[in-house]
């Protein structure tokens, strides 16, 4: 009897291990080294961003951790230096919920860094709130802050071409919709109260990431700067930290079993950042280290153009 139980337990563990391997998903196969290259990763003090930074440091890049909190940012520098086996990792303060902070970060970069080869727009929030500028928090951080940041650094990226811009979206962009009337009043972009509206607003902001990349690729034609958006997988990160206690408790065991870990979560970002030969796919959306089809609304030329123009107005670029 005891033997049977042991056998069943053994089989169960084996099945679980195979299942976990399957859950890990596709891996970035590129061996590209990045000595002499500079990379910025936003929101890299934890989660997918920090894991991405470790891998880029291992490849020899100078890695700039663009994070909003100095204490968390500097703690991450120590971890990325140790795990990445490189001293060439620095923290620079960037709060994407403040357009002023984005401007001052870009100014510092342009003044102090000669090179910029890869920009990774990774930071993201899944919570209600408003930015310093009075915009919905998820729209402001996930889209608009990165929109301004990218635009301010674009000339430097062009000078350093071939270079890349990678923006972390989500599969949830599928559930997003852009309604420019509500965008104008900002209502749909941050002041909803119910859990359902968090999900909806997050999805809108992630649709913005895909459409931004779609339009950016067009504007970058002929520059040798390419750009990609992506879904990292469903990852056991800190993203759910602002959910209520009950939801987090429920999610925890599910996440441990079914979600990928952050190291697996960094793979598609790394693929888009370093894989050789994907330049002709500029503007496209990736998942599992491969280009994916998106719905018509996520590659609508007119909507993408309009989002670009509205974003320019909102962050004072036009
Ligand atoms: N986890 C998933 O399953 C999943 C699925 C699809 C897409 N994504 C996307 O993947 C990206 C990374 O998320 P994650 O899962 O790694 O989540 P995470 O562990 O919560 O990390 C998010 C990072 O963004 C930073 N951040 C938040 N607000 C910021 C601001 N105002 N200024 C600068 N940085 C800010 C956070 O900094 P603090 O520590 O200071 O808050 C943190 O470093 C996000 O864009 C997310 O939407 C995640
Ligand atoms: C882009 O790269 C190609 C191939 O290396 C090169 O021939 C071309 O001059 C580059 N164009 C620009 C605008 O840098």
- Residue 199 to residue 48: CA distance in whole angstroms: 20
Tens-digit pLDDT profile for residues 192-215:
556 668 888 999 999 999 999 999
Mean pLDDT of 109-138: 94
Given a cut of 90, whether residue 162 has pLDDT beyond it is yes
Q: Which residues contact 316 (CB under 8 A, 6 or more apart)?
A: 99
Q: pLDDT grade, residue 33 (50/70/90)? A: very high
Mean pLDDT of 104-121: 98
What is the pLDDT, as a whole number, of residue 262?
94
Tell me, using a 6 A CB cutoff, whether residue 223 lines ligand 2. Answer: yes
**What are the Cα distances from residue 110, in Å, to 57, 65, 260?**
21, 15, 36
Q: Which atom of ligand 2 is nearest to the CA of 222?
A: 13
What is the pLDDT, as a whole number, of residue 72?
98
Mean pLDDT of 154-166: 98
What is the pLDDT, as a whole number, of residue 230?
98
3-state secondary structure of 47: helix
**What are the Cα distances from residue 122, in Å, to 112, 202, 204, 248, 311?**
22, 14, 16, 22, 18
List domains and CATH numbers for the chain.
28-315 (3.40.50.720)
Rounded to 5 degrees, what angle do the CA atoms 169, 297, 199 make?
A: 50
Helices first, then strands: H and E counts in the chain: 12, 8
**What are the Cα distances from residue 140, in Å, to 84, 97, 98, 129, 308?**
31, 6, 8, 10, 14
Tens-digit pLDDT profile for residues 274-295:
999 999 999 999 999 999 999 9
- Measure 172 CA to ligand 1 centroid, in angstroms: 15
What is the pLDDT, as a whole number, of residue 184?
57
Tens-digit pLDDT profile for residues 246-262:
888 898 888 888 889 99
Does this model's pTM top 0.85? My answer is yes
Peptide bond into 162 cis (omega under 30): yes
Reported as half-sphere exposure (CB side, CA atoms, 13 A), residue 251 has a value of 16
Given a cut of 90, whether residue 268 has pLDDT beyond it is yes
Question: Where do the DSSP E strands lie in 151-266?
Answer: 163-168, 225-231
What is the pLDDT, as a whole number, of residue 192?
58
Reported as half-sphere exposure (CB side, CA atoms, 13 A), residue 209 has a value of 34
In the 8-state DSSP scheme, what is residue 261? P
Mode of pairing for the β-strands spanning 38-42 and 62-67: parallel
- Residue 13 to residue 254: CA distance in whole angstroms: 17
**Which residue ranges have their beta carbon within 6 Å of ligand 1?**
42-43, 45-49, 67-69, 72, 94-97, 122-125, 141, 168, 170, 231-232, 234-235, 237-239
């Amino acid at each position: 009897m005891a033997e049977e139980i042991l056998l069943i337990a053994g089989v169960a563990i084996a099945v679980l291990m195979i299942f976990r391997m399957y859950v890990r998903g596709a891996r970035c196969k590129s061996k590209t080294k990045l000595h002499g290259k500079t990379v910025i990763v936003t929101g890299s003090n934890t989660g997918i961003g920090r894991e991405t930074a470790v891998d880029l440091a291992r490849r020899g890049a100078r890695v700039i951790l663009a994070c909003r909190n100095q204490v968390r940012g500097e703690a991450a520098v120590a971890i990325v230096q140790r795990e990445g086996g490189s001293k060439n990792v620095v923290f620079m303060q960037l709060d994407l919920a403040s357009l002023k902070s984005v401007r001052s970060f870009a100014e510092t970069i342009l003044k102090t860094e000669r090179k910029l080869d890869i920009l990774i727009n990774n930071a993201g929030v899944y919570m209600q709130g408003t930015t310093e500028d009075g915009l919905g928090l998820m729209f402001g951080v996930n889209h608009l802050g990165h929109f301004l940041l990218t635009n301010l650094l674009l000339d430097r990226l062009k000078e350093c071409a071939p270079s890349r811009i990678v923006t972390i979206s989500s599969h949830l962009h599928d559930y997003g919709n852009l309604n420019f009337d509500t965008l104008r009043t900002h209502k749909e972009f941050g002041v909803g109260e119910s859990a359902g509206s968090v999900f909806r607003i997050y999805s809108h902001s992630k649709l913005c990431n895909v459409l931004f990349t779609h339009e950016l690729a067009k504007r970058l034609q002929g520059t040798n700067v390419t750009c990609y958006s992506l879904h990292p997988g469903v990852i056991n990160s800190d993203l759910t930290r602002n959910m209520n206690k009950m939801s987090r408790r429920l999610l925890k065991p599910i996440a441990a079993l079914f979600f990928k870990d952050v190291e697996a979560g960094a793979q598609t970002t790394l693929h888009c950042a370093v894989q050789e030969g994907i330049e002709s796919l500029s503007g496209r959306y990736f998942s599992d280290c491969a280009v994916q089809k998106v719905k018509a609304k996520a590659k609508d030329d007119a909507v993408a153009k309009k989002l670009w123009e509205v974003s320019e107005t909102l962050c004072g670029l036009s």
